[in-house]
Amino acid sequence: MLRLVAGIVFLLLTFPFRGVSQVFNIDREVVPDSSYKNWAFAAGVNLASDKQQNSILDFSSNAEIDRFFKNNYLLIAALRNDAVLLGKNAIQNEGLAHIRFRDRDTRKISWEGYGQYQWNGAWGMDYRIVLGNNIRFKFLEKRKADLYFASGIFREWEKWNWAGVKPELVPNDAADRTRKMFRLNEYLKYAIKLSDQVDVSTVSYLQFPLKGNFFQPRWHFDTNVFLHVGKHLSFTVSWNHVIDNNRLVPIDRFYYSFSTGLQYER
């Protein structure tokens, strides 16, 4: 285990990756060499600095560890962060820490449990904590494509400030806002191997409030394209967006992110 941790630290210091995404490395159609190992991981870091009127520092990091068990279940742990600093001010600071236990794409129907801690300074999200579980259905599992659907319920705790709100919309007595609720969670995951060098993974999440505003779900869509440039190295193109009409503070309902980078995996 010590050698594994050392290897991950080395990767974090040497290989670049951009973007905060919800698609896990293990959810791709192709995961090199993972079929024959107890552990798999992918990690990277990107650091850029520029001097205009002030110093701009852009730091992104990504790490995922997957533990495979003999009963065809697996444990996924992921940590992702993207920060942009202009002088002493943070223009962007977002990320997530996620853990998930699920079937290894072997059963027609299976259970999965998960927890997540998320933050986004630009939006004003101090934190969003999620604990939940799903029933997962396998509709398609072939050598070059798979299709999964899952449905379940999760508990959500949120705390927001007003940093991401337009000044004219901030009330004089503005204070941090908190909320906790149950949500119905539905997601559809599709992955396909287009060629020996290209594979694509896409996940669409719909999350419905179960206490009021049921027909104002949060929709998160995430897709990644992996272009293999070596046995363990891939060029990545990622797109994700969020549409949410039921936010705690009046920020925009639509946000998106597009990024490219390199990913190293074992």
The closest of 176, 255, 246, 175 to 209, measured between CA atoms, is: 246
The helix/strand/coil state of 224 is strand
Structure tokens at 155: 């508990």
Structural domains present in the chain: 2-265 (2.40.160.40)
| pLDDT tens for each residue of 12-70 | 333 333 344 566 766 765 454 445 578 888 877 666 677 666 777 777 788 899 999 99
| pLDDT tens for each residue of 103-148 | 998 999 999 999 999 999 989 999 999 999 999 999 988 888 999 9
- Spatial neighbors of 70 by CB under 8 A, at least 6 apart, are none
| pLDDT tens for each residue of 221-260 | 999 898 988 877 888 888 899 999 999 999 999 998 887 7
The closest of 96, 183, 179, 177 to 134, measured between CA atoms, is: 183
pLDDT at 66: 93
Q: Is the four-CA dihedral 21, 82, 43, 49 of positive or negative sign? A: positive
- The CA distance from 8 to 4, in Å, is 6
| pLDDT tens for each residue of 69-78 | 999 999 999 9
Measure the CA dihedral 251/256/258/264, to 10°.
90
The model's pTM: 0.83
Comparing 162 with 33, the larger pLDDT belongs to 162
pLDDT at 36: 55
Structure tokens at 66: 């997957």
- The CA distance from 75 to 111, in Å, is 13
% helix / strand / coil in the chain, to the nearest 5?
10, 60, 30
Q: What ranges in the chain are assigned the alpha helix state H?
A: 2-14
